[in-house]
Structure 1
Amino acid sequence: MTGAGAKIRITERIAVAAALALALASCASAPATVFDLTAAHPPAARPFRAQIRFDQRVATADLDSERILVRNGQELALLPGGRWPQQLSTLFRDRLIETFQNAGLARSIDGGAAAADYALDIDLRAFELDATTSEAHVEVVAKIVALTSGRIVDVAIFSARAPVPSTAPASVVASLDETADEVMTRIVAFVARRL
C-alpha cells in the first residue's frame, strides 16, 4: 500500500472510531432491546466413545453480565440499546450445548443422570465489539478434562473476528453471533477429534 493509501486507511479508521464514540454517547439513554445468540449448525459428527458434561463456565466480571461490551483500546464501555437475555457465560454455554446437539451428539452429552467421563470447561476471554477495528471479537478457551484422573486431555484457544458494518445494536449482535457461530463450530470439531 502506498503512503497516501495508508494515510487514507488510518483516517478512515479514526473516523469510524469517532463515529462509534459519538453513536454510543448519543443513545446512552435509549431503552435496551434484548438480543439472543443462535446455536451453530456444524456438520454431523460421529458419536463420542464417552460421555461429556459441560462444567461451570468461566468469564471475567465484565463479560459475565447481560450487557454487550465495546472495547476501545484498553477502555471498556457498554453498548447502549442492547443486552443479552441472561448472563453471557450461561447464554454461550447453552448455545454451545445446542450446537453439539445440532451436530448429532445429543446422546454423548451427560444430562446429569449419567456418569460423565470427561468435562468441557469453557473460559470466555473476549465477546465484544472492538471499536478500534470495527469488528466483533470472540475468544474462548476450551479445555477437556478426564474426570477420573483430573488430567487435562487437551486445551485450545478459539478466536474469531467479523466486520461490524454499523454501531446499531442489531448490527453489532449479528456480527457477534456470526463470530460465536464460527467459534462454537470449531469447538465441536476440536472435541470430536479428541473423543
Structure 2
Amino acid sequence: MGGRAVRATLVLGAAALWLAGCGSTPKATFDLSAPRDIAVAQGPARGLMVVATPTALQVLDTDRIVVMPRPGEVAYADDSQWTDRLPNLLQARIIQAFENASRLRAVGRPGDRLVPDWTLVTEIRRFGVVVEDGQPTAVVEVAVKLVTDRGGRIAAGKVFKGTSPGATDGAGAAAALDSALAIVLRDMVRWATTRI
C-alpha cells in the first residue's frame, strides 16, 4: 500500500472514531439544591463564616452518583453525573443554605476576602443510595466542625445524617439524595447558628 493510501486510511479511521464518539449518548446531569425554608432563631445577623471545601474519600470525590447494590460494594448510577465534583457542589449548597437562613452577616469560601470569625469544616462520610433487602435508600452523612478564627480551636462538632426513600437510576437517585441532603442542611444550619 502506497504512502498516500496509508494516509487516506488513517484519516478515514480517525474520522470514523470521531463520529462514533459524537454518537455516544451524553450523560444526564443532575444538581443539588439548598433549602430555603430553614427556621432559625430570630435576631440580628452576626458573625462571618467561611466554608472549607468538604473532604471525602476518593470514591465520593467525583462527579459520579454513588449506588451501593450490596454491603461493601460501590457502583455508580449509569449514564448520570452531578454538575460538579461532589465536594465542590456540596460546599456551594452549604453556603447557599446559610445565606438562605439570613442569620450570619456573611458566609463564603476561603479566599473570598472575608475576615472570618468561624470556619465550617466538613467531611462527607456517606453520600449515595444504599440497597438493603431490595429497598434503595438515599443516605447522606456529613461530619461538621465549627472552628474559631482565634487559635483554630474546635468549638463544636456534630455528625448529621439524612435519609430518603431512593432509587438506583440516575434521576431517582439524584432526587432522593437531594431530599436527604435537605434534612442535613436544615439541621446543620440550625445547629451552627445557635453557636455563632
TM-score class, shorter: 0.7 to 0.9
Say which one has the larger Rg: 2
Conserved 8 A contact 2:67-2:168: no
Say whether the 8 Å CA contact 2:46–2:105 is kept in structure 1: no
Rounded to whole Å, the distance in 2 between the matches of 1:47 and 1:144 is 20
Superposed, 1:144-163 pairs within 5 Å as 144-163=146-165
1:51 and 1:117 in contact (8 A); partners too: yes
Equivalent residues, number: 166
Q: What does residue 56 of structure 2 align with?
A: 59
Identity %: 30
Unmatched tracts of structure 2, length 5 or more: 1-23
1:120 positional shift: 0.2
Give SS of 2:150's match.
coil
Q: Work out the CA distance in 1 between the residues paired with 2:168 and 2:153.
A: 43
The answer to whether the Cα contact below 8 Å between 1:40 and 1:102 also exists between their aligned partners in 2 is yes
Residue 109 of structure 1: aligned partner: 107
Moved over 3 A (4+): 44-49
Give the conservation status (yes or no) of the 8 Å contact 1:130–1:136. yes
Q: Secondary structure at the match of 1:109?
A: strand
Deviations 1:112-150 (A, max 9, x none): 223111100011001001022410000001100012111
The equivalent position to 2:95 in structure 1, one of 89, 94, 97, is 97
Helix, strand or coil: the match of 1:126? strand
User: How far apart are residue 159 of structure 1 and its match?
Assistant: 0.8
Counterpart AA for 2:182: D
The corresponding residue for 1:7 is none
Structure-2 change in CA distance of 1:139 and 1:47 (3 Å): farther
Match of 2:29 among 27, 34, 37: 34
Structure 1 length as normaliser, TM-score?
0.79
Give the conservation status (yes or no) of the 8 Å contact 1:47–1:108.
Answer: no
Q: Quick one: distance in 1 between partners of 2:108 and 2:92?
A: 14
Cα distance in structure 1, aligned partners of 2:45 and 2:144? 17
2 CA distance for matches of 1:30 and 1:75?
Answer: 26
Q: Distance in 2 between matches of 1:105 and 1:160?
A: 23
Partners of 1:139 and 1:82 in 2: CA distance? 21
Amino acid of the structure 1 residue aligned with 2:48: Q
Partner of 2:144: 142
C-alpha RMSD of the superposition? 1.8
- Tell me, yes or no, if the aligned pair for 1:129 and 1:137 is still in contact at 8 Å: yes
